[in-house]
Amino acid sequence: MAFTIALAGKGGTGKTTICGLLIKYLVAKGKTPILGVDADCNANLNEVLGLEVKDTLGQAREDMKKGKVPSGMTKDIFMSMRLEEAVAEEDGFDLVVMGQPEGPGCYCAANTLLTNLMERLVVNYAYVVMDNEAGMEHISRLTTNNVDVLLIVTDTSRRGLQAGLRIYKLAQELNIGVKKSYLVMNRVKTEPEKEVLDLIGQDGLVFAGTIPDDETVYTYDLKGKPTIDIDSNNPAVTAAFRIFDKILA
């Protein structure tokens, strides 16, 4: 069974960048093969990783719903074929983008197919790293019923922190089997005050640490350069690696 790490947080907190750095860390530590799953409807993990995405599972689902399954082919075989085509491969890790549904209608049957396909896919990997949108629906609906680590990313804003705490409480309510939950504070200029740390820990959420605001990370993001290529000696990367050492010990 793959070790699953799911990332969540308010939009704009740098969640996807940290997801990319986590994959960079796992590759550096030899914890391969890794499957990256972009479950954010605003999918851009491939840009962080420097990969080209040619297909998404959301598009495959749409094609199936619109009757584009070739004659003589079952829906299961069609989706399995499209899943293989949607996997972007790189040295040490692969990436699959879930994509988003288009148009009205029920997606229950297609989602069930995707769930079964993903369960068959993840057994080929040592680690699964999933980048999610702010809610937890993708984890609950599409992938696995076991999340070993939930890493909640926030910035230093009050709204970012509140969103992170809401996600933590929602994850506790969903039947997704989260074993451990951590919060990491990104783009930090000064260390959080005691009142903030007390607020984080009052419901059992573990504070994993901070990642400093960094000009290099900002520049890479602005220019569309893969942040996975940032030098490992960079202060933000070093801080992120220390956090990953802690949560994966």
Residue-wise pLDDT tens digits, 100-137: 655 555 555 555 666 676 788 888 999 999 998 776 66
The chain-wide mean pLDDT, for the chain, equals: 87
> At 95, is the pLDDT very low, low, confident or very high (cuts 50, 70, 90)?
very high
Structure confidence by residue, pLDDT tens digits, 70-89: 999 998 898 888 888 889 99
CA distances from 204 to 17, 40, 59, 247 (A): 26, 26, 39, 15
What does the alpha-carbon distance between residue 37 and residue 6 come to, in Å, rounded to a whole number? 9
- Helix crossing, 75-86 with 57-65: angle to 10°? 150
Q: What is the pLDDT of residue 142?
A: 44
CATH number of 3-247: 3.40.50.300
Q: Where are the domains of the chain?
A: 3-247
Q: What is the pLDDT of residue 143?
A: 47
What is the percent of the chain where pLDDT is above 70? 89
Q: What is the pLDDT of residue 144?
A: 46
Beta strands in 26-146 (DSSP E): 34-39, 88-90, 93-97, 127-132
What is the percent of the chain where pLDDT is above 90? 51
The answer to whether residues 96 and 38 touch, using CB atoms and an 8 Å cutoff, is: yes
Q: What is the pLDDT of residue 79?
A: 83
3-class state of residue 153 by DSSP: strand
What does the alpha-carbon distance between residue 106 and residue 103 come to, in Å, rounded to a whole number? 10
